[in-house]
């Protein structure tokens, strides 16, 4: 067993580039896990600055000075955020409050519907099972209402922290964008000079994540607007709230669409009952999901994230379990990072090679044979 571990260590960690990459990944993971809450404003500023850097670079290619490009991009982002806060957020908050108030009535209507099941299908469900199910639903609804109230009170208590973040984070983003080269040069001063493996991984991840985030933002906006237009055309209640949930659900592949179907169908049923309007709402919602998954996603993310659906779902559960909502939001970029690391990680030694010898480099292999292997990874 010890010999196997020794051979595995020599096979993978005798290359200094592998050690550097592993140390950087471990350091980033430990910082986020153990100091994520303390450094939340800094991490948020880094992410926002990274997302806005693409727009700044585009303005620079148009011969706009960097300081002016930073100011224009940051002002545009702040104005868009304030417009959303003062237009959409109050309306959504009003609809959430109204939904919580009407929730007991919806539960009563659902109970009447469920009580008819034992009469129609006595061999499948009994009265005791219905009462147990309704008790569980009432308990969950009560807990949900308490969480909404607690969240409101907690938000009021931490209003000062929110105001501080609204001031500190934009300032940090401004200086990170303005002094980007100086900050990156200072960070490189602590790293070894030769970091070509880490640079190779970051180069691939940077291109894919930038394209993914840009495409995901466009996808959320399109799905949100189309869903709101559709729900509003059917005069469905809580159209703003439901369309927002449908738009945000695209962040969680496969799972989000299935979860959001429940509130959409419930609101449509309690408003229209089993009628043609109810059926048309569900059909329209299904068409939106179909077009999103089969037209919009391939169009926006073609060759950007080449991950198997099982890997995507597993990354949502793994990173969501570690970092909660933020882990779910960044599950695909983090899975892309893992994929890039695995792809660039040196392979095992060929059979018959001594355990202490380093693996053959790319320069020793035939370039014509290496290209198909890299593309197929």
Q: What is the pLDDT of residues 138-158, one digit of tens each?
A: 676 666 666 655 555 455 455
Rounded Cα distance, 203 and 197, in Å: 10
Block residue for tokens 């993310």: 301
> Which range scores top for mean pLDDT: 42-46, 109-113, 258-262?
258-262
**Which of 280, 324, 304, 78 has the alpha carbon at shortest distance from 177?**
78
The percentage of the chain sitting over the pLDDT mark of 70, rounded to a whole number, equals 70
Identify the pLDDT of residue 149: 56
Which are the contacts of 230, defined by CB distance < 8 A and separation ≥ 6? 243, 284, 285, 288
Block residue for tokens 């592998």: 18
- The average pLDDT across 211-237 equals 87
Contact at 8 Å (CB) between 51 and 42?
A: no
pTM of the model: 0.66
Q: Where are the alpha helices (DSSP H) in 121-179?
A: 127-157, 159-178
Task: Read off the tokens for 333.
Answer: 């970029």
Task: Look up residue 357 and give its DSSP letter.
Answer: S
Q: Which secondary-structure segment (H or E) carries 82?
A: helix 66-120
* Domain boundaries defined on the chain: 196-345
pLDDT in tens, 118-137: 777 776 777 677 777 777 77
């Amino acid at each position: 067993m010890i010999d196997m571990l020794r051979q595995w260590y020599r096979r993978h960690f005798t290359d200094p580039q592998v050690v550097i990459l592993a140390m950087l990944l471990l350091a980033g993971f430990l910082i986020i896990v153990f100091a994520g809450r303390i450094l939340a404003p800094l991490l948020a500023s880094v992410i926002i600055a990274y997302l806005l850097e693409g727009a700044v670079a585009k303005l620079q290619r148009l011969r706009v000075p960097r300081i002016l490009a930073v100011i224009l991009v940051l002002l545009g982002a702040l104005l868009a955020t304030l417009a959303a806060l003062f237009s959409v957020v109050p309306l959504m908050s009003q609809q959430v409050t109204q939904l919580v108030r009407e929730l007991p009535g919806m539960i009563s209507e659902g109970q009447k519907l469920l009580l008819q099941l034992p009469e129609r299908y006595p061999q499948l469900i009994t009265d005791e099972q219905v009462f147990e199910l309704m008790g569980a639903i009432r308990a969950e609804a009560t807990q949900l209402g308490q969480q909404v109230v607690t969240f409101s009170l907690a938000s009021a208590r931490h209003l000062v922290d929110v105001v501080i973040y609204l001031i500190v984070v934009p300032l940090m983003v401004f200086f990170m964008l303005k002094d980007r080269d100086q900050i990156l040069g200072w960070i490189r001063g602590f790293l070894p000079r030769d970091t070509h493996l880490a640079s190779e991984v970051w180069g691939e991840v940077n291109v894919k994540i930038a394209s993914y985030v840009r495409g995901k933002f466009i996808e959320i906006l399109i799905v949100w607007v189309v869903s709101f237009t559709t729900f509003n055309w059917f005069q469905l209640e809580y159209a703003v709230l439901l369309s927002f949930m449908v738009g945000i659900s695209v962040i969680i592949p496969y799972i989000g669409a299935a979860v959001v179907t429940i509130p959409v169908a419930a609101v449509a049923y309690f408003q229209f009952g089993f009628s043609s309007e109810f059926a048309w709402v569900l059909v329209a919602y299904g068409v939106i999901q179909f077009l999103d998954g089969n037209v919009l996603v391939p169009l926006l993310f073609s060759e950007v994230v080449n991950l198997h659906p099982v890997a995507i779902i597993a990354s949502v559960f793994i990173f969501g379990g570690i970092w909660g909502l933020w882990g779910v939001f960044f599950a695909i970029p983090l899975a892309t990072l893992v994929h890039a690391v695995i792809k660039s990680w040196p392979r095992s030694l060929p059979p018959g090679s001594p355990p202490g010898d380093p693996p053959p480099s790319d320069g020793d292999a035939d370039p014509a044979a290496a290209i198909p292997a890299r593309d197929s990874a």
